[in-house]
Amino acid sequence: MNDKIKTALSSEKSMTVINLLFLLSLFIRNRGIIFIAYIAWIVFLICFIKKTSSKAVKAANGIFLIFAVAMIMINLYFMISYR
């Protein structure tokens, strides 16, 4: 089961699903979809960082990871402050 999850996350289809989630978050103005998209992207980036051996790719993905976490925090802040 664990190998199936790792294989699914490292495939091209997983990034397609993540892109679809981001596209859906543009059309459906529900904050839950954007959180799911960012969390899926974070999981994908963590798996990709563990898989790659290039330090440059790890650094770039680390920056994307920090960006995704920051975007989740910003969305949470605005979601809480406007209620």
> Which residues fall within 8 angstroms of residue 57, CB to CB, at 6 or more apart?
48
Full-model pTM:
0.79
Q: What is the pLDDT of residue 10?
A: 66
As a whole number of angstroms, the distance between CA 37 and CA 45 comes to: 12
Q: Can you state the percent helix, strand and coil of the chain, rounding each to 5?
A: 85, 0, 15
pLDDT tens, per residue, the chain with 83 residues = 667 666 666 667 788 888 888 888 888 876 688 888 899 889 888 988 888 888 999 999 999 999 999 999 998 898 888 76
Q: What is the pLDDT of residue 14?
A: 80
Q: What is the pLDDT of residue 51?
A: 86
Exposure of 44 by Cβ count < 10 A (0-12 exposed, 13-18 middle, 19+ buried)? buried
Q: Give phi and psi for 29, each to the nearest 5.
A: -85, 55
Q: What is the pLDDT of residue 28?
A: 83
